Amino acid sequence: MKGFKFHGINAGIKPDSQKDLGIIFSEKPASMAAVFTKNKVIAAPLILGKDRLKNGVCQAVLVNSGNANCFTGEQGLQDAIESSNIVAKAFEIPEELVMVSSTGVIGLPLPIGNFEKGIPLLIKDIDSGSVDDFAEAILTTDTTKKIIRKECIHKGKVYTIVGIAKGSGMIKPDMATMLAFICTDLNILYSMLQSILQKSCNRSFNRISVDGDTSTNDTVLCLANGMSQAYIEGEDDIIEFQKNLDEVLFSLSKKIVKDGEGATKLVKIIVKGAKSPRDAFMAAQTISNSNLVKTALFGEDPNWGRVVAAAGRSGAEVVMEKIDLLFGDVLIVDKGEWCGKGAEIKANKILKEQEFNIILDLNIGKFEDYFLFCDFSQEYVRINADYRS
C-alpha cells in the first residue's frame, strides 16, 4: 500500500513490557471518515476526534492501549490535545491533521509523561515499523492481532485496503472496547467516504456482540490518501468500493467475535420471515445479547426455549404457532412445535462445532437480518473480574 507507515512500541503505559503506543502516518493528507460510539459517556479522544472530523482530512493517528483516557475531565482532554501536538511537531504537520485514540481502563489519568518520552521514539523509528507492530500496540485483552489486507483493481489501477482492529470484550457496538483503523491508497472525497464507511459499519461492526456492552471509546476511522492513482467518482465506482470495504470490515468484525473474551464458539443468528426490517434486526440483536442463550451454547445445550423467549421479548412481532428454529441444518422447532428429543440429540452435535448458524424463521414476512456473537464461559468472568488487578 502506497504512502502509509505504521509502528508500535512499548512506552510504559501498560504495567509490563508489551507494546502500548502505535502510530499511523500518511505521507500526504488523506481523506478521513469516522464513526464513533453512541454511548453518552465518551472518552477524551472522541471529544477531540469529533471536532477534527469536521475537517475531513487527517495525516497521522496516535493510538495507545492500557488507558482509556475516559472520565478524566478537562485534564484528560488537554492530555489528548497535548499528545496530538507532540505528534504534529515531530512530523511538522498541522495539529488539526492528527487524530488520537485510546483503549484500556476507564477513569485513570493519562500518563502524559510516557507519551512525551514515547512519541519521539515511535516516530524516529517509524521506517522500521510495520502494520503488525501497530496492531500489537493497540491490544488489551485480545489474544491475537486482527489484520485484513485486500488488493483491488479499479479501471486498471491497483489499490489496497488494510484494516486493523482490536476488540475482545465490552463488545456491542452502537455507532460503531473496539477500535478499527482502515487505510487505503484509493482517491475518494471524504464526503463519499463517510457515507460508505457508515454503511459498512452498519453491516459489520453493528452486527456483532460479545457481551452486550457498548464501550465509551468505540471508534472506526478510515483514511484514503489517493496515492495509488485509483479514483472513485461515479455511482458504479462507489458500489464497487462499498463491496470491497464491506468485505474488509465484515472480516474484521468476525475476528473480533471469534476472539471474544473466553469465547469457544462463533455463532451467526439469522432471523428470517420477519414482518419488517426492524423486527428482523431486533430479534437477531436480542438473541445475540442474551446471556442465557450464550451460556447454553457454551454448555452445548440446544436449549431452544431460550432462543424463542429472547425473540419474544425483543419487540419484534412474533406468532408462536408459525416459528421454525434450526441449529445448523437440524430443525428443532417446526411451526411452533418441538421436534422431540431426537432432534435435540442431533442439534447437540452441531453445538460441539466451533462455528455454526442458528436460523429463526418467523414466517410472517419477507425480511431478514443477522448478528455474529459468541458463547459465555467461566473464562469471561475471570478475565473481567481481574481486569484492573
How distant, in Å, are the alpha carbons of 222, 329, 335, 344 from that of 359? Answer: 33, 9, 13, 15
Query: Are the beta carbons of 273 and 318 closer than 8 angstroms?
Result: no
Active-site residues, by number, are 177
Contacts of 108 (CB under 8 A, 6+ apart): 67, 68, 72
DSSP string across 24-73: EEEEEEEEEEEEE---SS-BHHHHHHHHHHTT-EEEEEEEEESB--BS-H
Contacts of 266 (CB under 8 A, 6+ apart): 254, 257, 258, 354, 355, 372, 374
DSSP string, 185-240: --B--HHHHHHHHHHHHHTTGGGEESSSPPPSS-EEEEEE--TT--B--SHHHHHH
The residues that bridge with 367 in the sheet, in sequence order, are 274
The SS3 of residue 90 is helix
What is the phi-psi region of residue 138: left when phi exceeds 0, alpha when psi lies from -120 to 50, beta otherwise?
A: alpha
